[in-house]
Amino acid sequence: MSNIDITLLTSKRTSLSVDGLASNVVYQQGGYRVVAGENNATTIGVHFPPIYLGQAADVYMRNAKGEYASHDFGTLESINQEFTLPASMTFAGNTILVFHAVTGEGDSQIKTVWERVVIPIAATGEDYQAVAMASPDILAQAIAVTAAAENGDLDGKSVFVRFADNASGTGMTATWGSTMKYMGVYTGQAASTNPADYTWTLFCGQAVIEDDSSVTSIDYTLVDNVDKTFQASGITAIKIRVPATIAHGFYAGVNVVCGSSTPTFEIVNGSSKPTKVVIRGMLADSYTPRANTVNNMLIYCDGYAVYFYINEVAK
């Protein structure tokens, strides 16, 4: 039996269990957590929907250092597959898995990208339940402080954690909010009120959901791991900008509520990678939103191109 069992659903979401314990990861913040952590002895079982039998499938992986690896399942002779994490993907922090599969051939080929799965990787047996979402430098600091406490070297000092919307720690609080992408750590006899005293880091794998009900002429630059919804009445223009820094594993979502008038639509690609627009599973040269619809856009970069998967739903 696999340590991690992942079921890929036709809704592009995932269902998984860890060592026999089911865990729902449908838009759950950061996936799931483990205490002891996974490593390259971890076996991962993957179950594809039956529609992909006889078709090609693979998984892309990104570790906490930004390094990539992939595993090619080839042509699926069985919907049940199994693989182990490569050694490079067991760097302490979070490893992100993104599964792909295709159906059809030639111009009828449809590529499916499932909701990513986040696996916290532990280099030791430390309890990472509180810090598994943090980047490697914060994990290392937590380990060092734990060791110092066990050796009696802290001299009464404690570890204080704060959360903020930005890397400067402006407006930091002791409790996490849905817009807060940064964690700060400070060691001392008492908590500091100065954000500069804290070491700030961006959460690994932290998905953020933002709403905007005021903008009617949208000019939005995509942000990795951010799902943005625009729902003002009377939206007249939609301009989506692809940042020059976009890289393999980039994932973002944009949702737009269109009113009775058809808004204009434009993609400004600031990167060197080509843009691929996929509407209802088919490649398209251009796209014009329809009136009285909700437009769902999933934007993903596979290292070669930037894909805009667009779906329209009637209001």
Interval 65-124: pLDDT, tens: 777 888 999 999 999 999 988 877 777 667 788 898 888 777 777 788 887 777 766 554
Helix (H, G, I), strand (E, B) or coil at 188: strand
Choice between 308 and 38, residue whose per-residue pLDDT is larger: 308
Name the band, by pLDDT with cuts 50, 70 and 90, for residue 216.
very high
Highest mean pLDDT (candidates 24-28, 29-33, 194-198): 194-198
Q: Residue 73 has which token pair?
A: 């399942």
Mean pLDDT of 48-74: 87
Q: How far apart are CA 62 and CA 69, in angstroms?
A: 7
Give me the phi and psi of 87, to 5 degrees please.
Answer: -55, -35
If you average pLDDT over every residue of the chain, what do you get? 77
Note every long-range contact of 52-55, with CB atoms under 8 Å and residues 24 or more positions apart, other chains counting: 52/76, 52/79, 52/101, 52/102, 52/103, 52/112, 53/77, 53/78, 53/79, 55/101, 55/102, 55/103
C-alpha 242: how far from chain center = 17
Q: How far apart are CA 185 and CA 142, in angstroms?
A: 9
Question: Are the CB atoms for 210 and 226 separated by under 8 Å?
Answer: yes
Question: What share of the chain has pLDDT > 90, as a percent?
Answer: 26
Choice between 115 and 59, residue whose per-residue pLDDT is larger: 59
User: What residues does each domain of the chain span?
Assistant: 4-121, 136-202, 208-314
CB neighbour class for 115 (10 Å; exposed up to 12, middle 13-18, buried from 19): buried
pTM of the predicted structure, to 2 decimals: 0.42
pLDDT of 3 higher than 50: yes
Residue position matching structure tokens 């066990």: 150
Q: Which CATH class is domain 4-121?
A: mainly beta
Tell me the chain's radius of gyration from C-alpha atoms. Answer: 21
What are the helix (H) ranges across the chain?
136-151
pLDDT of 24 higher than 50: no
Q: Residue 106 has which token pair?
A: 């030639």
pLDDT of 242 higher than 50: yes
* Count helices and strands in the chain by DSSP H and E runs: 1, 23
Please state which of the ranges 11-20, 129-138, 200-209, 300-309 shows the lowest mean pLDDT. 129-138
